[in-house]
Structure 1
């Protein structure tokens, strides 16, 4: 991977807060918070000045404990939530010159449907459980303007086969599937419109270890085959170690460390990262 390549996604100073803030916490320079929470007014600063680049064909891991802001970050990037402030630029969109967060809701829908795929920790958020599996994929394709039923069927079957859902179960609803199969249907759906970027939010949490390994293998394989860029959120360093080229460590809504995954695992600098790495050994 050439480091000289322009990033496919650039995020600058992304902030997301819940609550309006007060004298004690509104000024970032002298915020007095308990973790990421203001004890005076109850405002939660979920993401504080998050800045990073994602390069073409790269897997960037985001690791941190529950409540560190990593899932909020993913929700903001996929427009499931509005940011409080910040910028994001996508290389394939308007030549990377337009702040995605300032776009109209119509444009945001376009970006979601054509340029990004997301796999949620909870499949209920990413799938319609009563639709057929192939219907779930068609839904994302229809949202992107596809109207050709035969083409959608062909693409749907191809993707479901790719993620190892047997052909005879394609018309079945995901509610009948195991957790691992539901995640695989979500992955197929996320890939349906050939997006350059995939957002994976804790995709193996709650799955049995053997099933986790299968899902991770599948992601690794698809990533290499399609040379897709992936943002991968996990609280599990084992998952990050297996998939991520680079890693960002989040704590209390901030990025406390980032670098090559190997470097972070071998020589962690921040006390929290050290603790994470030691718990892995």
Structure 2
């Protein structure tokens, strides 16, 4: 796996705060914060100096309790939120030489449409619920500059095949679908432009266990077949164990531990990770 390859994405010191900060908490001084919250000015330090690399064909799992900053981190990576500080470099964009967070909104749109895909926990954020399934895929292809209807239809059909959406339901709107089917359409849409990087944010939360299993199998199969790199956020260690090569543990906006998934689950070092792993046993 990784080793001599250069990363698909490299993130350095990503920070995101909600609120202005004050003399009590400036520089996110931990000793003055309650968890990651300043009682004086109400600022929340959602991500604090988060750094990581993801290599070609690798799945990086990010785990942590609610409020640990993992979903904020994903929002920043996909430009759903602006960062406060930090850098990110994508190998597939400007040879990995331009900080993504400093790009114009037009360039950010280009990055979202061409070199990244995201699957949201809530399908309403990732799909147009009134469009047909194939229309959702076409929309992403059109955003990326495709104009040939026949090619878009072909690509849409191929992807909906991959994610097991029955032929007779492709012209149907996702609002009529079950949660598991909506997630599968989202995955197809996110993959439509062959992005080298896929962001998955709690994609199985709220699904029945049997449906979860089929969505996870699908992701695992696609990841192997397409050799795509994935950043996967979950609070469920079972999901992380099944999919992630490496795992990063977040607590109160910071990365407190990272390493090979097996290593983290068999021999957690940080007290919080130990509690997390033991609660699963």
Quickly name the TM-score band, shorter chain normalised.
Answer: over 0.9
Q: Which residue of 2 aligns with 1:48?
A: 48
Supply the distance in 2 between the matched residues of 1:126 and 1:30 (Cα, whole angstroms). 35
Alignment of 1:53-132 (within 5 A): 53-132=53-132
Supply the distance in 1 between the matched residues of 2:17 and 2:239 (Cα, whole angstroms). 28
For residue 29 of structure 1, report the CA deviation from its aligned partner.
4.6
Detail structure 1 runs of 4+ shifted over 6 Å in the superposition: none
Tell whether the 8 Å contact from 2:36 to 2:44 is kept in structure 1 after alignment.
yes
Tell whether the 8 Å contact from 1:116 to 1:195 is kept in structure 2 after alignment.
yes
Q: Which residue of 2 aligns with 1:277?
A: 277
For residue 219 of structure 1, report the CA deviation from its aligned partner.
0.2
Q: Which residue of 2 aligns with 1:134?
A: 134
Render the CA deviation track for 1:244-266: whole Å, top value 9, x for unaligned.
00000000000000000000001
Counterpart of 2:233 in 1: which secondary structure? strand
Q: 1:280 to 1:30 in 2, by over 3 A?
A: closer
For residue 28 of structure 1, report the CA deviation from its aligned partner.
3.5
**Length, aligned pairs only:** 281
Supply the distance in 2 between the matched residues of 1:129 and 1:27 (Cα, whole angstroms). 42
Tell whether the 8 Å contact from 1:24 to 1:31 is kept in structure 2 after alignment.
no
Q: Which residue of 2 aligns with 1:212?
A: 212
Supply the distance in 2 between the matched residues of 1:66 and 1:27 (Cα, whole angstroms). 23
Tell whether the 8 Å contact from 1:49 to 1:254 is kept in structure 2 after alignment.
yes
Residue 32 in structure 1 maps to residue 32 in structure 2:
yes
Q: Which residue of 1 aligns with 2:151?
A: 151
Supply the distance in 1 between the matched residues of 2:191 and 2:123 (Cα, whole angstroms). 15
For residue 27 of structure 1, report the CA deviation from its aligned partner.
2.5
RMSD: 0.7
Supply the distance in 2 between the matched residues of 1:29 and 1:67 (Cα, whole angstroms). 18
For residue 241 of structure 1, report the CA deviation from its aligned partner.
0.2
Q: 1:30 to 1:243 in 2, by over 3 A?
A: closer
Supply the distance in 1 between the matched residues of 2:263 and 2:27 (Cα, whole angstroms). 34
Supply the distance in 2 between the matched residues of 1:184 and 1:30 (Cα, whole angstroms). 41
Q: Which residue of 2 aligns with 1:162?
A: 162
Render the CA deviation track for 1:193-215: whole Å, top value 9, x for unaligned.
00000000000000000000000
Tell whether the 8 Å contact from 2:28 to 2:45 is kept in structure 1 after alignment.
no
TM-score w.r.t. the length of structure 1 is 0.99
Q: 1:30 to 1:202 in 2, by over 3 A?
A: closer
Q: Which residue of 1 aligns with 2:22?
A: 22
Counterpart of 1:28 in 2: which secondary structure? coil
Render the CA deviation track for 1:19-71: whole Å, top value 9, x for unaligned.
00011101335551111111111000000000000001000000000110000
